[in-house]
Amino acid sequence: MRVEIRKIASKEAEKVIIECVKVTPQIDDIRAFAEGSGRELAGTSCELTMDEEIERHVERFPLREVYYFEAVDEHVFAYTEKKEYEIRMRLYEIEEQFQACHFVRCSKSVVLNLMKLGSISPALNGRFYAHMKNGERLVISRQYAPLIKEIIMGV
Amino acid sequence: MREREMQNTPTSLLLVFFIVTACVTTVQGIVGTLLWPEARFGFDAFLFPPLFGILSVLSNVVLISKKELSMGQMAFRMFLQLLVIEVMVFSVNILAGSSENYTPAICILLAGAVAGIYGVVHVIMWLNDRRAAKAFNERLRRFQEEIQ
């Protein structure tokens, strides 16, 4: 496949155009990589000030740094290695939009990043523990375990 | 997607059915030979192990929840499931009239056997999951290397 890179002036106008006869799994991989590598999210992070007041900041952070998204009482949080952000998206939107970037639902309230998953181990009654690379442990419910296995094992 | 998510449940229920049926047959054979070696049965006796298998599968209703259960809640539900199975097994024995000669010692033995089978089922399923997790982890590493 020929690769052509054209330099432009504006960062916002950067884009990848794929010209292909047919959208094959390889093309999907390239698209997922292009979408995921540059994608950023906006979220609100909370910090405790010296006066013990909560200060909220809206920050942008790369999608690839997110370990997992969790829904807690109608709020959705994104967890990176050191920080957590509240984001304005529903969990099903995250699941649908970031599927190509290797995000997958592992329970009713969590969507995890397969690229940040260290390993899994069996838990009770057909469930699994997901050991994330930052040391956190999540539960993969029995309902979603086959889907994750299908993505990784291809069966 | 929903169909794919659910496809493993019938398989695991079928696994529970066959493990329970096999274990009940084995335990009945061992306990019966030790306690009532002179006893003889008709062909209807063959129906009891699969009946207990079906009852065990039905008892999975106890584990169904709309909310995501924590590990502690799941452990409690599994304990409840064991109690439900114990009640069902004793009820079947009473209804079938085979409980007339039961002494307290035999009742304890039966309850212990049911708990033992329940434990064996979950140990076998855990070992199966451990094997699956090992294969998954190996493939996961390759998956991540291919993408990065």
DSSP string computed for B54-116? HHHHHGGGGG--SSPPPHHHHHHHHHHHHHHHHHHHHHHHHHTTTTTT--HHHHHHHHHHHHH
Domains along the sequence of chain B with CATH: 2-147 (1.10.1760)
pLDDT at B4: 40
3-state secondary structure of A24: coil
pLDDT at A51: 76
* A to B CB pairs, distance under 8 Å: 74
pLDDT tens-place string over residues A37-59: 678 888 998 877 777 777 888 88
- Tell me: pLDDT of B5 over 60: no
- For the beta sheet containing A54-62, the strands, ordered from the edge strand earlier in sequence to the opposite edge, are A54-62, A40-48, A84-87, A75-79, A68-72, A110-113, A103-107
Query: How many Å apart are CA B130 and CA B59, to the nearest integer?
Result: 24
pLDDT tens-place string over residues A48-106: 777 777 788 888 899 989 999 999 988 999 999 989 999 999 999 999 888 888 899 99
Contact list, B63 vs chain A (CB under 8 Å): 125
Q: What is the pTM of this model?
A: 0.72
Look up the ipTM and state it: 0.73
CA of A36: how far to CAs of A58, A141, B108, in Å? Answer: 21, 26, 60
Length of chain A: 155
Nearest to A70 by CA among A60, A56, A80, A61: A80
Residue B8, min C-alpha distance to chain A (Å): 6
* Nearest residue, CB atoms, B7 vs list A33, A126, A146: A146
Cβ–Cβ contacts within 10 Å for residue B67, how many?
8
* Nearest residue, CB atoms, B4 vs list A109, A117, A146: A146
Contact list, B132 vs chain A (CB under 8 Å): 122, 149
What the block records as the tokens of B107 is 């009742």
Domains along the sequence of chain A with CATH: 40-153 (2.40.50.1020)
